Amino acid sequence: MSSNWDWQVFCKSTIEDTVYPTCFGPGGDTTYFEWLLSAWGWTLSVAALGWIVALVFGSLMGIARTTPSKPLVWLGNVWSEVFRNIPLLVQIFLWYHVLPQLFVSLRSIPSFLLVAFALGFFTSARVAEQVRAGIMAIPKGQRYAGLAMGFSQWQTYRYVLLPRAFRIVIPPLTSEAMSIIKNSSVAFAVGIAELTLFAMQSQEETSRGIEMYLAVTGLYFLSAFLVNRIALFIEHRAAVPGMVGAGQ
Protein backbone atom coordinates (compact mmCIF):
# COMPACT_ATOMS: atom_id res chain seq x y z
CA MET A 1 0.00 0.00 0.00
CA SER A 2 1.37 3.39 -0.98
CA SER A 3 2.08 5.74 1.92
CA ASN A 4 3.12 8.93 0.17
CA TRP A 5 1.09 11.09 2.49
CA ASP A 6 2.41 14.54 3.19
CA TRP A 7 1.12 15.86 6.51
CA GLN A 8 3.39 18.87 6.20
CA VAL A 9 0.86 20.27 3.79
CA PHE A 10 -0.94 21.67 6.83
CA CYS A 11 2.12 23.75 7.69
CA LYS A 12 2.28 25.16 4.19
CA SER A 13 1.33 28.72 3.38
CA THR A 14 -1.95 29.11 1.52
CA ILE A 15 -0.31 31.74 -0.70
CA GLU A 16 3.20 30.46 -1.38
CA ASP A 17 4.98 27.11 -1.18
CA THR A 18 6.63 28.03 2.10
CA VAL A 19 6.37 25.42 4.86
CA TYR A 20 6.56 26.86 8.37
CA PRO A 21 7.99 24.66 11.18
CA THR A 22 5.36 25.86 13.67
CA CYS A 23 2.45 25.50 11.21
CA PHE A 24 1.54 29.11 11.97
CA GLY A 25 2.29 31.73 9.35
CA PRO A 26 4.14 34.88 10.45
CA GLY A 27 3.14 38.40 9.54
CA GLY A 28 -0.42 37.68 8.54
CA ASP A 29 0.44 34.75 6.28
CA THR A 30 -1.98 31.86 6.76
CA THR A 31 -1.20 28.16 6.71
CA TYR A 32 -3.63 25.38 5.91
CA PHE A 33 -3.53 24.39 9.58
CA GLU A 34 -4.75 27.85 10.58
CA TRP A 35 -7.39 27.68 7.86
CA LEU A 36 -8.47 24.28 9.21
CA LEU A 37 -8.83 25.67 12.74
CA SER A 38 -10.83 28.62 11.43
CA ALA A 39 -13.15 26.28 9.52
CA TRP A 40 -13.60 24.16 12.65
CA GLY A 41 -14.56 27.27 14.55
CA TRP A 42 -17.18 28.17 11.95
CA THR A 43 -18.57 24.63 12.08
CA LEU A 44 -18.88 24.70 15.86
CA SER A 45 -20.37 28.19 15.82
CA VAL A 46 -23.05 27.32 13.27
CA ALA A 47 -23.86 24.11 15.15
CA ALA A 48 -23.99 25.83 18.56
CA LEU A 49 -26.27 28.64 17.40
CA GLY A 50 -28.42 26.18 15.49
CA TRP A 51 -28.72 24.03 18.60
CA ILE A 52 -29.83 26.99 20.72
CA VAL A 53 -32.55 27.80 18.16
CA ALA A 54 -33.57 24.14 17.96
CA LEU A 55 -33.74 23.69 21.72
CA VAL A 56 -35.75 26.87 22.35
CA PHE A 57 -38.28 26.49 19.53
CA GLY A 58 -38.41 22.70 19.75
CA SER A 59 -39.19 22.84 23.47
CA LEU A 60 -41.89 25.48 22.99
CA MET A 61 -43.53 23.55 20.16
CA GLY A 62 -43.25 20.25 22.02
CA ILE A 63 -44.91 21.76 25.10
CA ALA A 64 -47.59 23.39 22.95
CA ARG A 65 -48.56 19.99 21.52
CA THR A 66 -49.35 18.67 25.02
CA THR A 67 -51.49 21.57 26.25
CA PRO A 68 -55.31 21.48 26.44
CA SER A 69 -55.41 24.43 24.00
CA LYS A 70 -56.40 23.32 20.50
CA PRO A 71 -54.81 26.35 18.74
CA LEU A 72 -51.49 25.65 20.47
CA VAL A 73 -51.69 21.95 19.59
CA TRP A 74 -52.44 22.91 15.99
CA LEU A 75 -49.50 25.33 15.93
CA GLY A 76 -47.12 22.72 17.31
CA ASN A 77 -48.30 20.06 14.87
CA VAL A 78 -48.00 22.37 11.86
CA TRP A 79 -44.54 23.48 12.94
CA SER A 80 -43.30 19.91 13.27
CA GLU A 81 -44.80 18.74 9.99
CA VAL A 82 -43.47 21.70 7.99
CA PHE A 83 -39.89 21.63 9.19
CA ARG A 84 -39.38 17.88 9.25
CA ASN A 85 -40.87 17.24 5.80
CA ILE A 86 -38.63 19.67 3.88
CA PRO A 87 -35.03 18.60 3.23
CA LEU A 88 -32.40 20.51 5.17
CA LEU A 89 -30.55 21.63 2.04
CA VAL A 90 -33.75 23.13 0.62
CA GLN A 91 -34.42 24.97 3.87
CA ILE A 92 -30.93 26.45 3.84
CA PHE A 93 -31.40 27.64 0.27
CA LEU A 94 -34.78 29.14 1.24
CA TRP A 95 -33.26 31.07 4.12
CA TYR A 96 -30.26 32.18 2.10
CA HIS A 97 -31.78 32.99 -1.30
CA VAL A 98 -35.57 33.32 -1.00
CA LEU A 99 -36.58 34.80 2.36
CA PRO A 100 -34.21 37.83 2.11
CA GLN A 101 -35.93 38.66 -1.19
CA LEU A 102 -39.37 38.48 0.44
CA PHE A 103 -38.49 40.24 3.70
CA VAL A 104 -36.18 43.24 3.35
CA SER A 105 -35.23 43.17 7.04
CA LEU A 106 -33.49 39.82 6.54
CA ARG A 107 -31.06 41.23 3.97
CA SER A 108 -28.96 42.87 6.69
CA ILE A 109 -28.57 39.62 8.63
CA PRO A 110 -25.25 37.80 7.99
CA SER A 111 -25.57 34.60 5.99
CA PHE A 112 -23.95 32.77 8.89
CA LEU A 113 -26.97 33.55 11.10
CA LEU A 114 -29.46 32.66 8.36
CA VAL A 115 -27.89 29.24 8.01
CA ALA A 116 -27.94 28.78 11.80
CA PHE A 117 -31.67 29.59 11.81
CA ALA A 118 -32.32 27.12 9.00
CA LEU A 119 -30.38 24.41 10.78
CA GLY A 120 -32.06 25.18 14.10
CA PHE A 121 -35.62 25.21 12.76
CA PHE A 122 -35.02 21.97 10.88
CA THR A 123 -33.78 20.29 14.07
CA SER A 124 -36.49 21.88 16.23
CA ALA A 125 -39.13 19.68 14.61
CA ARG A 126 -37.46 16.55 16.00
CA VAL A 127 -36.73 18.20 19.35
CA ALA A 128 -40.44 19.10 19.59
CA GLU A 129 -41.40 15.48 19.01
CA GLN A 130 -39.01 14.29 21.71
CA VAL A 131 -40.16 16.87 24.26
CA ARG A 132 -43.79 15.96 23.53
CA ALA A 133 -42.99 12.26 23.97
CA GLY A 134 -41.21 13.00 27.26
CA ILE A 135 -44.20 14.88 28.66
CA MET A 136 -46.63 12.23 27.45
CA ALA A 137 -44.55 9.53 29.15
CA ILE A 138 -45.36 11.03 32.55
CA PRO A 139 -48.50 9.51 34.10
CA LYS A 140 -51.52 11.79 33.72
CA GLY A 141 -52.11 11.52 37.44
CA GLN A 142 -49.15 13.80 38.07
CA ARG A 143 -50.67 16.55 35.93
CA TYR A 144 -53.96 16.19 37.78
CA ALA A 145 -52.15 16.15 41.12
CA GLY A 146 -50.46 19.43 40.27
CA LEU A 147 -53.75 21.03 39.31
CA ALA A 148 -55.41 19.61 42.45
CA MET A 149 -52.74 21.31 44.56
CA GLY A 150 -53.82 24.64 43.15
CA PHE A 151 -51.13 25.05 40.48
CA SER A 152 -52.07 26.75 37.24
CA GLN A 153 -51.37 24.98 33.94
CA TRP A 154 -48.11 26.92 33.58
CA GLN A 155 -47.05 26.11 37.17
CA THR A 156 -47.89 22.44 36.64
CA TYR A 157 -45.59 22.39 33.63
CA ARG A 158 -42.90 24.42 35.39
CA TYR A 159 -42.73 22.51 38.65
CA VAL A 160 -44.12 19.02 37.87
CA LEU A 161 -43.98 17.97 34.22
CA LEU A 162 -40.99 19.66 32.59
CA PRO A 163 -38.33 18.77 35.20
CA ARG A 164 -39.17 15.08 34.73
CA ALA A 165 -39.76 15.25 30.97
CA PHE A 166 -36.40 16.84 30.17
CA ARG A 167 -34.58 14.24 32.23
CA ILE A 168 -36.33 11.52 30.25
CA VAL A 169 -35.38 12.98 26.86
CA ILE A 170 -31.72 13.74 27.53
CA PRO A 171 -30.51 10.69 25.52
CA PRO A 172 -32.47 11.53 22.32
CA LEU A 173 -31.54 15.20 22.70
CA THR A 174 -27.91 14.11 22.85
CA SER A 175 -28.31 12.38 19.50
CA GLU A 176 -29.83 15.54 18.03
CA ALA A 177 -26.98 17.67 19.37
CA MET A 178 -24.50 15.32 17.72
CA SER A 179 -26.50 15.30 14.49
CA ILE A 180 -26.60 19.07 14.24
CA ILE A 181 -22.80 19.15 14.13
CA LYS A 182 -22.81 16.72 11.24
CA ASN A 183 -25.70 18.49 9.50
CA SER A 184 -23.81 21.78 9.69
CA SER A 185 -21.67 20.47 6.83
CA VAL A 186 -24.54 21.39 4.47
CA ALA A 187 -23.69 25.04 5.13
CA PHE A 188 -20.88 24.74 2.58
CA ALA A 189 -23.57 24.93 -0.12
CA VAL A 190 -24.06 28.66 0.56
CA GLY A 191 -20.40 29.47 1.07
CA ILE A 192 -20.03 29.27 4.85
CA ALA A 193 -16.34 28.63 5.52
CA GLU A 194 -16.86 25.48 7.54
CA LEU A 195 -14.96 22.19 7.47
CA THR A 196 -16.49 20.62 4.37
CA LEU A 197 -15.87 23.73 2.29
CA PHE A 198 -12.32 23.85 3.62
CA ALA A 199 -11.73 20.22 2.56
CA MET A 200 -13.06 20.83 -0.93
CA GLN A 201 -11.14 24.03 -1.56
CA SER A 202 -7.88 22.93 0.06
CA GLN A 203 -7.96 19.69 -1.94
CA GLU A 204 -8.19 21.68 -5.15
CA GLU A 205 -5.31 23.92 -4.14
CA THR A 206 -2.94 21.28 -2.78
CA SER A 207 -4.06 18.03 -4.47
CA ARG A 208 -3.78 16.43 -1.01
CA GLY A 209 -7.36 15.31 -0.66
CA ILE A 210 -6.60 12.28 1.54
CA GLU A 211 -4.89 14.34 4.22
CA MET A 212 -7.52 17.09 4.10
CA TYR A 213 -10.53 14.81 4.30
CA LEU A 214 -8.95 12.65 7.02
CA ALA A 215 -8.31 15.75 9.13
CA VAL A 216 -11.84 17.03 8.58
CA THR A 217 -13.30 13.61 9.38
CA GLY A 218 -11.32 13.50 12.60
CA LEU A 219 -12.56 16.93 13.67
CA TYR A 220 -16.19 16.06 12.95
CA PHE A 221 -15.77 12.88 15.02
CA LEU A 222 -14.01 14.73 17.84
CA SER A 223 -16.70 17.43 17.96
CA ALA A 224 -19.59 14.95 18.11
CA PHE A 225 -17.73 12.76 20.60
CA LEU A 226 -17.15 15.71 22.96
CA VAL A 227 -20.85 16.59 22.79
CA ASN A 228 -21.67 12.98 23.62
CA ARG A 229 -19.35 12.98 26.66
CA ILE A 230 -20.71 16.28 27.96
CA ALA A 231 -24.30 15.11 27.53
CA LEU A 232 -23.51 11.82 29.24
CA PHE A 233 -22.09 13.74 32.19
CA ILE A 234 -25.25 15.87 32.39
CA GLU A 235 -27.38 12.74 32.04
CA HIS A 236 -25.70 11.10 35.01
CA ARG A 237 -25.89 14.28 37.08
CA ALA A 238 -29.61 14.66 36.34
CA ALA A 239 -30.41 10.98 36.80
CA VAL A 240 -33.36 9.98 38.94
CA PRO A 241 -33.25 6.32 40.11
CA GLY A 242 -35.85 4.18 38.37
CA MET A 243 -36.62 6.77 35.69
CA VAL A 244 -36.26 6.06 31.97
CA GLY A 245 -33.15 7.76 30.60
CA ALA A 246 -31.62 8.03 34.04
CA GLY A 247 -28.09 7.44 32.83
CA GLN A 248 -28.62 3.73 32.34
Domains identified in the chain, total number = 1
**Residue 23, in any domain of the structure:** no
In-domain check, residue 110? yes
User: What CATH number does the domain containing 188 carry?
Assistant: 1.10.3720.10
**In this predicted structure, what is the pLDDT of residue 236?**
85
For residues 42 and 185, what is the distance between their CA atoms, to the nearest angstrom? 10
Mean pLDDT of 205-215: 92
pLDDT band of 248, cuts 50, 70, 90: very low
Nearest CA-CA partner of 216 in 190, 191, 189, 184: 184
Whether 24 maps to a domain, the answer reads no
For position 246, what pLDDT does the model report?
46
Using pLDDT thresholds of 50, 70 and 90, give the confidence band for residue 247.
Answer: very low
- The pLDDT tens digits of the residues spanning 216-227 come to 999 999 999 999
107-156 pLDDT, tens digit each: 888 888 999 999 999 999 999 999 999 999 998 888 899 889 889 999 99
User: Does the pLDDT value for residue 82 go beyond 90?
Assistant: yes
Domain assignment present for 218: no
Q: In this predicted model, what pLDDT tens digit does every residue of 24-55 receive, in sequence order? A: 988 888 999 999 999 999 999 999 999 999 99
The pLDDT-based confidence of 75 (bands split at 50, 70, 90) is very high
Domain assignment of residue 53, given as a range: 43-193
pTM attached to this predicted model: 0.89
- Residue 68: inside a domain: yes
